[in-house]
């Protein structure tokens, strides 16, 4: 146990600091402070010594240099069990510092605000980060509190242990300090590399949520990220790893639609999607796509869920329901199933890149934020031209196939998913799967459209589609045998468009 006799306090955020300072004063701790923090302490009616009076230097360069001085860092880095260190402290009249409470300028917040570069640069902390590293390095003798998040823990220790700390506690605070400093440096690097394009991968997430379990119950899993920024959880059991994958897929899919749309997903793929004038109509049509697969699925809407929609949804066993809002009656209906996870999706700008672990490293790539036919030219390659309504239907189908596991084929009709073939090793097998699914639920394919996430290597896919009554097709194009498919379409009165954008998803 080491008793705290002196403290250096210099913080940007002062919420909750008052009770710590008062307790330190009661315990006879000498306090050193700077600028606004010193003023804050004095306004509490407490005494503190300015760092300027300790160092003999004022704050200079517009506040850029305040604590960078041997009389500050010597007192922090002093090894209490090293006689030579003790002699030097006495020689240069450097006081010991046992506790450092410091935080950092809000760099990431300033970047997020869209501030000019000059303002961003000024929020790169120098003194604070140096104090954190010095105190954490010397944690055998010094306590470091690197952010407001640790105030409550420090206060409890000071109160329960009469101002003394154990080595185990100091090491814990040091670990928290390096967590803060590494996160801060990562944010700075990522800001600079946006322009400089340095080939390095740095991600820092300081918030973790333990998930119910991993991909299987015997696997542990943790999500690192700020879930509260994305969702407000209204109800239900803890989220699992598989839930998270489905939620991610659902959010990405629904973001593509502007009109009232409901989607049902299972194992990251849509098993029901429909766009309708009202949400309840959209839900009932989406459910009709594949009511078998919908069991235990993840449901998502791009409009508030009202009472009528909630009453229909409540008839289905589902793991997760996501919507931008719920009316009070609808929410209470959905809460009647105690384990059902109910999330309100918040409006937030999502990252433009994504990454995944591969082999012994990580691969990062741009997100597929484009859609063939919407963000690229929809080029009619056949003699027959799709109507305006068919063009709209092609876009609808292409959205769904974009968000389906490759190889993928989608049939749609009337802004409704009819069937899909997903995750197949050959494109023709994906098409056959879609045909069998459509037949199983009695859907009439005639007058529908077909979307493919990649080109047709042979004409067999358009041949099969034609045999099922589907005569309008959207695909990226790009096969050396594109002309075979075009010739077949022309010979049988089919229309086909190329988008030039492939949408593989693995």
Any idea which residues carry the catalytic annotation? Answer: 137, 267
Q: What is the per-residue DSSP string for 298-317? A: EEEESS-B-HHHHHHHTTS-
First to last CA, the chain: 54
Token pair of 388 as six digits = 């305006």
Q: Among 300, 302, 304, 311, which Cα is nearest to 335's?
A: 311
Long-range CB pairs of 453-456 (<8 Å, 24+ gap) are 453/401, 453/402, 453/404, 453/406, 453/407, 453/408, 453/409, 453/502, 453/503, 453/504, 453/505, 454/406, 454/407, 454/427, 454/502, 454/503, 454/504, 455/479, 455/482, 455/502, 456/427, 456/481, 456/482, 456/485
- In the chain, what is the greatest distance between 2 CA atoms, to the nearest angstrom? 98
SS3 for 401-439 is: HHCCCCCCEEEECCCEEEEEECCCCCHHHHHHHHHHHHH
Structure-block tokens of residue 416: 């409704």
CA distances from 211 to 96, 237, 238, 239, 266 (A): 44, 10, 7, 6, 19
């Amino acid at each position: 146990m080491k008793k705290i006799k002196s403290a250096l306090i210099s913080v940007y955020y002062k919420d909750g600091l008052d009770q710590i300072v008062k307790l330190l004063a009661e315990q006879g701790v000498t306090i050193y402070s700077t600028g606004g923090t010193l003023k804050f302490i004095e306004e509490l009616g407490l005494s503190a010594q300015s760092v300027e009076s300790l160092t003999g230097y004022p704050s200079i360069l517009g506040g850029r240099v305040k604590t960078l001085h041997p009389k500050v860092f010597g007192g922090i880095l002093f090894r209490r069990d090293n006689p030579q260190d003790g002699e030097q402290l006495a020689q240069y009249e450097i006081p010991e510092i046992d506790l450092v409470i410091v935080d950092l300028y809000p760099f990431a917040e300033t970047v997020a605000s869209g501030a000019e570069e000059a303002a961003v640069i000024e929020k790169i902390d120098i003194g604070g980060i140096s104090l954190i590293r010095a105190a954490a390095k010397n944690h055998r003798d010094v306590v470091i509190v690197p952010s407001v998040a640790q105030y409550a823990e420090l206060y409890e220790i000071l109160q329960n242990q009469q101002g003394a700390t154990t080595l185990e506690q100091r090491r814990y605070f040091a670990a928290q300090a390096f967590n803060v400093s590494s996160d801060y440096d990562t944010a700075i690097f990522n800001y600079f590399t946006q322009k400089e394009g340095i080939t390095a991968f740095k991600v820092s997430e300081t918030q973790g949520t333990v998930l119910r379990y991993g991909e299987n119950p015997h696997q542990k899993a943790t999500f690192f990220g700020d879930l509260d920024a994305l969702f407000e959880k209204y109800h239900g059991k803890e989220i699992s790893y598989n839930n998270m994958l489905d939620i991610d897929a659902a959010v990405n899919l629904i973001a593509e639609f502007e009109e009232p749309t409901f989607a049902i997903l299972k194992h990251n793929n849509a098993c029901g999607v429909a766009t309708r004038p009202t949400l309840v109509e959209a839900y009932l049509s989406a459910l009709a796509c594949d009511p078998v697969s919908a069991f235990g699925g993840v449901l998502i809407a791009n409009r508030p869920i009202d009472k009528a929609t909630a009453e229909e949804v409540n008839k289905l066993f589902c793991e997760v329901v996501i919507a931008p809002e719920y009316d009070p009656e609808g929410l209470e209906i959905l809460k009647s199933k105690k384990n059902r996870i109910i999330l309100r999706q918040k409006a937030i700008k999502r990252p433009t890149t994504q990454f995944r672990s591969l082999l012994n490293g990580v691969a990062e790539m741009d997100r597929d934020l484009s859609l063939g036919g919407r963000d690229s030219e929809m080029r009619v390659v056949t003699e027959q031209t799709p109507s305006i309504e068919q063009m709209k239907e092609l876009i609808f189908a292409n959205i769904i196939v974009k968000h389906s596991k490759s190889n993928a084929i989608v049939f749609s009709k009337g802004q409704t998913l009819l069937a899909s073939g997903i995750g197949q090793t050959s494109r023709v097998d994906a098409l056959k799967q879609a045909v069998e699914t459509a037949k199983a639920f009695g859907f009439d394919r005639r007058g529908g459209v077909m979307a493919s996430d990649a080109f047709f290597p042979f004409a067999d896919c358009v041949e099969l589609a034609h045999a099922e009554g589907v005569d309008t097709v959207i695909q990226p194009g790009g096969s050396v045998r594109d002309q075979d498919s075009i010739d077949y379409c022309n010979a049988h009165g089919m229309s086909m468009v190329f988008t030039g954008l492939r949408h593989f998803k693995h």
